[in-house]
Amino acid sequence: MSTEKPETVYLDHNATTPLHPAVKQEMTEAMELFGNPSSMHGFGREARANVEHARKTVASFIGADSANLMFTGSGSEANNTVLSIFSCSGDSCSTGSGRTGEKGETNNRKTIITTRIEHPCVLETSRCLAGQGTPVKYLDVDRYGKINMDQLSELLTDDVGLVSIMMANNEIGTLQDISEAARLVHEHGALLHTDAVQAVGKIPVDVDDLGVDFLSMSAHKIYGPKGVGALYVRPGTPFCPFVRGGHQEQGRRAGTENTLGILGMARAVQMRSEEMEDELHRIRALREQLVRGIESSIDDVVFNGHPEDYIPHTVNVSFPGAEGESILLYLDMAGIAVSTGSACASGSLDPSHVLLATGTDAERAHGSIRISMGRDTTEEQIGYLLEVLPPVIRKIRGMSTAYIGGNTYAQTG
């Protein structure tokens, strides 16, 4: 394994984050803790006690009781789990003795509502379920990526069992009003899931304040390890295991607990609870520096996402006439890491489904980059980006015969 590289500026925190030093320390120590939490002997009991302690830490960070928090292998698995509950056929799938979130009646409410700007793991699963006969309805978003509560009310017919709305969008940072959505959804007898992977640890999140029934989170977006996520399941909601065949996680998920990952996640969450508030102020200032810097040094730019309701860590900006991938590669050569959108959708040549859903045309969508900041981002790093970016954009635009300049799209946020 080689880790040597020139000094670099990492501005892709929405894709993943480096481990927090305290998490590295925790995980290094936890490597000695090898027992299987399901084993009855001392090794097992010690592992279990540590896992349950970690569960309390993670649960309390989102205002939940630890009995209602299950660990998963990723945020994607947490989202897949929720969406699959409503296509579960019956008692044959129930395992374990789960105190909460028992397999229950879904009252023939099989329809799922979600938005057009969800993470691929929600959209693909929805498409797959639709192919298997589950009706799926989609909420549109406005040009800032916000859903419309009137449309939600209209779509909430009696057959709707689950509504899944991302709390903070991973590409453009737009925040939805989840508590208002929860109120509407519950009024119509359905349940609300929120994919809060990009929100938890960046802004305060409380499952009771939000009123959600399911909430997904992930460790590696908040300086914890990859390969571990968590799902909050409100007591009394229907549940069906996704990974089946073991009594782990109160019968909600089979497979030996990833003790090391779980302990790392808990430490990451603990550090978030200590650092999040100060960081939020710092990141707001960095965002201001970044947005003003881009506006003052580059012509014809469009900031994507909501002008007020956003996660400040994420800045998504379009440079008409410049391909996002080219920008990314030029910045990479200068030691700066940004992305063109979701890492989970990268490799695809299609323009961002999120930007398209906001009404952005394909060309501008292709000319967008996402700059996502984190706890290690500094004023100097943003300064360096602001030094490198303008000539890069000029260079790429200069190579593009199609680009004629102008401020046509200005919709600055």
| Binding test (CB under 8 A) with a second copy, winner from 155, 280, 343, 388 | 343
Subset of residues 76 to 135 that bind a second copy, contact rule: CB under 8 A: 76-77, 79-80, 89-93, 95, 119-125, 127-128, 130-133
Q: Confirm or reject binding of residue 226 to a second copy (CB under 8 A).
A: yes
Which of 370, 344, 337 shows the shortest CA–CA distance to 355? Answer: 370
User: For strand 314-318 and strand 336-337, is the pairing parallel, antiparallel, or unpaired?
Assistant: unpaired
Span near a second copy by CB under 8 A; candidates 149-157, 177-185, 326-334, 398-406: 326-334
| Binding test (CB under 8 A) with a second copy, winner from 85, 168, 228, 311 | 228
Residue window 348-377: x/- pattern of binding to a second copy, with contact defined by CB under 8 A: x-----------------------------
At its nearest, how many Å lie between a second copy and the CB of residue 272?
16
Max CA distance (Å), the chain: 72
Please identify, using beta-carbon distances, which residue of 40 and 150 lies nearer to a second copy. 40
Residue count at the site for a second copy (CB under 8 A)? 96
Please identify, using beta-carbon distances, which residue of 133 and 402 lies nearer to a second copy. 133
At its nearest, how many Å lie between a second copy and the CB of residue 80?
5
At its nearest, how many Å lie between a second copy and the CB of residue 327?
11
Report the alpha-carbon distance of residue 388 to residue 39 in Å, rounded: 55
H helix count then E strand count, the chain: 13, 12
Report the amino acid identity of residue 147. I
Please identify, using beta-carbon distances, which residue of 158 and 332 lies nearer to a second copy. 332
Which of 5, 7, 13, 10 shows the shortest CA–CA distance to 336? Answer: 10
Residue 409's CB is within 10 A of a number of other CB atoms, namely 15
Q: Confirm or reject binding of residue 398 to a second copy (CB under 8 A).
A: no
Report the alpha-carbon distance of residue 261 to residue 229 in Å, rounded: 9
Report the alpha-carbon distance of residue 325 to residue 331 in Å, rounded: 10
| Binding test (CB under 8 A) with a second copy, winner from 149, 155, 344, 356 | 344
At its nearest, how many Å lie between a second copy and the CB of residue 206?
26
Q: Confirm or reject binding of residue 33 to a second copy (CB under 8 A).
A: yes
| Binding test (CB under 8 A) with a second copy, winner from 107, 148, 256, 378 | 256
Span near a second copy by CB under 8 A; candidates 27-35, 168-176, 349-357, 359-367: 27-35
Q: Confirm or reject binding of residue 194 to a second copy (CB under 8 A).
A: no
At its nearest, how many Å lie between a second copy and the CB of residue 290?
18
What's the N-to-C CA distance of the chain in angstroms?
Answer: 42
Inter-residue contact 228 to 261 (CB < 8 Å): yes
Report the alpha-carbon distance of residue 334 to residue 343 in Å, rounded: 20
Give Cα separations from 366 to 10, 331, 341, 363, 372 (angstroms). 22, 16, 10, 5, 18
| Binding test (CB under 8 A) with a second copy, winner from 328, 354, 373, 396 | 328
Paired strand residues for 339:
370
Subset of residues 132 to 191 that bind a second copy, contact rule: CB under 8 A: 132-133
User: Among this protein's residues, is 344 annotated catalytic?
Assistant: yes
Report the alpha-carbon distance of residue 109 to residue 188 in Å, rounded: 11
DSSP state of 118: S
Q: Confirm or reject binding of residue 18 to a second copy (CB under 8 A).
A: yes
| Binding test (CB under 8 A) with a second copy, winner from 139, 345, 357, 365 | 345
Paired strand residues for 304:
316
At its nearest, how many Å lie between a second copy and the CB of residue 344?
4
The whole-angstrom distance between residue 226's C-alpha and the CA centroid of its chain comes to 13
Which residues are known to be catalytic? 344
